[in-house]
Amino acid sequence: MSDSGGSWLDTAYGLLSTSQRRYALYYFLNNEDASLDELVEEISEWESDVAPESIRIALHHNHLPQLAEHGIVEYVDSDIRVTSKFDALRSTVAQARAIEDDSRSTQSPLMFGSGSESVSEPVSED
C-alpha cells in the first residue's frame, strides 16, 4: 500500500468496499492465516443468502488476488497468510467492523449528515 495520505485512503477504502473482501479482512483481525475453506465458511455466515461456491470463486479470482496485489496477504493455492502490511490497515478494518456490527445490531440504515439534515443513504454492495 502506498504511504501517501490520499492514495493510502483510496486503497484502504477500496479494499473495504466489497462485503466479501471486507469480511475476509475482518477474519484476519484475529487470525494470521487461513485456508480458502475457512474463509468461505466464515464469509458464508455473514452472507447466508450467497452460495458458498459463489463466495469461493469470488475470493479465488477477485478478492484474494487484490489483497495480494497490495501486499496485504500472501496467497498460494488455498493457503492465505497476512503480511506485515496488514498492520497498517488493521485499525481501519477494526473501525469498519465496529461500524458494521453496530449497524447490524440496530438494524437501521446508515445515516449521513446531522440533525434535521440527516438523509438515509443506501449502502451498495458489489
Question: Does a structural domain hold residue 119?
Answer: no
Identify any residues that bridge with 82 across adjacent strands, giving them in sequence order.
73
Total domains in the chain come to: 1
One-letter amino acid identity for 52? P
Residue 24 belongs to a domain with what CATH number?
A: 1.10.10
Residue 123 lies in a domain: no
Residue 34 within a domain = yes
Per-residue pLDDT at 18 exceeds 60? yes
Write out pLDDT tens, residues 88-125: 999 999 999 999 988 877 754 444 443 433 333 444 45
pTM: 0.78
How far apart CA 63 and CA 98 sit, in angstroms, is: 21
Q: What is the CB-side half-sphere exposure of residue 12 using CA atoms within 13 A?
A: 20
- Is residue 73 domain-resident? yes
Q: Decide if pLDDT at 75 tops 60.
A: yes
The three cell numbers of residue 6 are 490520499
**Residue 18: which H helix or E strand, with range?**
none
116 domain-assigned: no
64: domain range? 19-104
Q: What pLDDT score does 111 carry?
A: 44
Q: Would you call 44 exposed, middle or buried from its count of C-beta atoms within 10 A (0-12, 13-18, 19+)? A: middle
8-state DSSP, 117 = G
